[in-house]
Amino acid sequence: MPRRKHLSTLRDTAPVILPSLLQCDFGNLQREVGLLEDAGVRALHLDVMDGRFVPNLTYGMPIVAALRRLTDLPLDVHLMIEEPEPYIPQFYDAGADVITFHVEAVSDPQPVLNQIHALGAAAGLALNPATPVSAVEPFLDDCDLVLVMSVNAGFGGQSFQPIALEKLQYLRQHAPPSTLLEVDGGVNAQTIADCSHAGAQLMVVGSAIFGHNSYASAVNLLTRTARGDGAN
């Protein structure tokens, strides 16, 4: 299946919980992926940080390639890196299905979106809380996905910033209906229903999954709450 096609599966089954691989046990990646698959997740969110665009450093292509060998789940790669262009082919070759970069990290998103599409991956554009939605509006027709950050990119465990809800609502009204909306940062049982009501279809979750001893019960609660049938 061409990699961009994975998005139609995710769109059809929204709201989808995507565990953010930042706070997982990287010393036991095979076990972690198995637990997440058993929990019923349908995609993984990979947080790539370069220590320049964000004041944190995580992992790159080798870990993406290792995860590609461990699972068939779609890999949603969130590039929190300056000047991503040279690395995009390498993340594609490593197995990324969705490649999302930050509008704040490039001078012109258009050629980068084109570059990702030319490879056959789905292209996402991310914006931090302080970045107005007008920064991404000119490029919406070429975005398979818009990643609305509800925390400042760089760390897990931060508090949800409600400005993300206003952006999600605006984007739901102004982006093409096929554009997937993703929210990332501080998403938990208390905030996920608001995200869903605002239009988010893909919910990235870190602490609210990896802070629990049962990933399955955490994912189950978050899914039910996102769908409006969970106890808040």
Active site residues: 47, 184
The residue from 205, 219, 221, 226 that contacts ligand DX5 (CB under 6 A) is 205
- Establish if 186 lies at the interface with ligand DX5 (CB under 6 A): yes
| Pairing of the two strands 75-80 and 122-127 | unpaired
Residue 127 vs 229, nearer CB to Zn ion: 127
Cβ atoms 114, 121 nearer than 8 A: no
Separation CA 115–CA 109 (nearest Å): 10
Stretch that binds ligand DX5, among 33-41, 94-102, 103-111, 204-212 (CB under 6 A): 204-212
Residue 3 vs 45, nearer CB to ligand DX5: 45
The 3-class secondary structure across 80-94, one letter per residue, is ECCCCHHHHHHHHHH
Pattern 143-182, ligand DX5, x by CB under 6 A? --------x-xxxxxx------------------------
Residues in touch with Zn ion (CB under 5 A): 47, 78, 184
Q: Which of 135, 156, 9 is nearest to 72 (CA)?
A: 9
Length of the chain: 232
What's the CA angle centered on 133, arms 127 and 136, to 5 degrees? 70
Rounded to a whole number of angstroms, the minimum distance from the CB of residue 113 to ligand DX5 is 19
Residue 94 vs 203, nearer CB to ligand DX5: 203
CA 109 to chain centre: 18
Query: Which phi and psi angles does 188 have, rounded to 5°?
Result: -150, -170
- Establish if 47 lies at the interface with ligand DX5 (CB under 6 A): yes
Residue 120 vs 162, nearer CB to ligand DX5: 162
> Which residues of this chain interact with ligand DX5, rule CB under 6 A?
20, 22, 45, 47, 78, 80, 151, 153-158, 184-187, 204-208
